Structure 1
């Protein structure tokens, strides 16, 4: 009886170990988030989430790869230029948050990345013009649909095309439903938190400044 119990315990331990290895292989290694300062707008995760490799096309035609987001805290927001309300409102609020950051050195200044999920209508040049109308420092990018879907999924975001009443006659008669949260990436390019609406620019500005000062030490 004793040997049988020992065997069962060993099998359970082996199964648990194999399960942990499988989870690490699928999700990537768990990366603890260091002790950040208290935040008001940003909800920080217990563990950082490394993002899979990606490549987006920026408004100036250059590629934005995952490694290029390193060195700065970055806020990522999905949207599209035909958005009637949520996108312009959010970008306007983020522009208010960006103003206090102008006093920070450019080398560590937090950044805002606007990613269009409407590649059929939003060219890189168009999204750049749109985003820069709110703040000149805002990064703007897009990609083909499969790349955008993978990028959004890595952030825990979703989006989908919603045809309008006259879509059959006019292929441009549609809208895009998309997540309205803002992803927070640390200077290593890992997703470490989220900002959920309603957005308070002053709190966002203060949180990102405090986080930047913590990692810059």
Structure 2
């Protein structure tokens, strides 16, 4: 039986997923987008401009929209206490990142891990966590209102799930969208990658998109 919080997030996730599905169904077309055919990345048209946001990176600096320009970026929501999905996803992404290492850093695809658990995840902690999978992974977080706004702009959701009866207060979990958002070199929401994830297909898609966007 779902608790109320889990039920709410599931409903919101379905609604968000339907919105993205509709965008793809009615607007997506390789001929229109001008991008190469992809297998793991689902592009949609037109890309969506993101509202202003400000996240705090693991090095203490602010991550603002302009800093994401010039690269294709995969954005994944998670938290360091996640028992399975987050570490498995970051491990899979690290396999893709290793295949991008020959691409010049100035245009190399990026992975951005955003912790939606700021209560337990300090910038230092998320940096250590993300870099344990791959040194190039960007890691950031913010306060809950800022995270909710950022997640909503990507058609993603998250919600804190209280601990079971009798468990310590800090033993809660966080439900969150498992899909990854795809941002184009202009920093716009341009698509998504849905699980199950295939590192080789993700690597090939992002490499092809990077090559197509290169001047």
Distance, in Å, in 2 between the alignment partners of 1:214 and 1:165 is 49
Task: State the match for 1:183 in structure 2.
Answer: 181
Secondary structure of 1:173 counterpart: coil
Q: Residue 127 of structure 1 aligns with which residue?
A: 126
Q: How does 1:80-159 map to 2 (within 5 A)?
A: 80-159=79-158
User: For the Cα contact (< 8 Å) 2:163–2:169, is it kept in 1?
Assistant: no
Mapped to 1, the partners of 2:164 and 2:73 lie a distance apart of 37
Where has structure 1 moved over 4 Å in runs of 4 or more? none
- Secondary structure of the 2:101 match is helix
Asked if structure 1 preserves the Cα contact closer than 8 Å seen for 2:184 and 2:190, the reply is: yes
Secondary structure of 1:103's counterpart equals coil
- Distance in 2 between residues matched to 1:204 and 1:73, nearest whole Å: 12
Residues 5-52 of structure 1 deviation map (CA, whole Å, 9 limit, x = unaligned)? xxxxxxxxxxxxxxxxxxxxxxxxx9x963110000000012100000
Report if aligned partners of 1:166, 1:173 keep a CA contact under 8 Å in 2: no
CA distance in 1 between partners of 2:165 and 2:94 (Å): 35
The answer to whether the 8 A contact 2:39-2:201 is kept is: yes
TM-score, normalising length from structure 2?
A: 0.84
Distance across 2 between alignment mates of 1:179 and 1:51: 18
Give ranges in structure 2 of 5+ residues lacking alignment: 1-26
Distance in 2 (alpha carbons) for counterparts of 1:108 and 1:156: 26
- For residues 128-148 of structure 1, give each alpha carbon's deviation from its aligned partner in whole angstroms, at most 9, with x where no partner exists: 000000000000000000000
Residues 17-32 of structure 1: pairs in structure 2 closer than 5 A: none
Q: Larger Cα Rg: Structure 1 or Structure 2?
A: 1
1:95-152 superposed Cα distances (whole Å, 9 cap, x missing partner): 0000111001000000000000000000000000000000000000000000000000
CA contact (8 A) 1:54 1:151 kept: yes
Assess if the C-alpha contact under 8 Å between 2:99 and 2:203 holds in 1: yes
RMSD value, Cα = 1.5
TM-score by length of 1: 0.83
1-structure distance, mates of 2:43, 2:61: 31
Q: Distance in 2 between matches of 1:34 and 1:215?
A: 12
Question: Which structure 2 residues correspond to residues 39-50 of structure 1 after superposition, within 5 A?
Answer: 39-50=38-49
- Shift of residue 173 of structure 1? 1.8
- Taking the TM superposition and a 5 Å limit, the aligned residue runs for 1:167-178 are 170-178=168-176
- Contact kept, 8 Å, 2:36 with 2:209, in 1: the verdict is yes
SS in 2 for 1:118: coil
The alpha-carbon deviation at position 166 of structure 1 amounts to 4.0
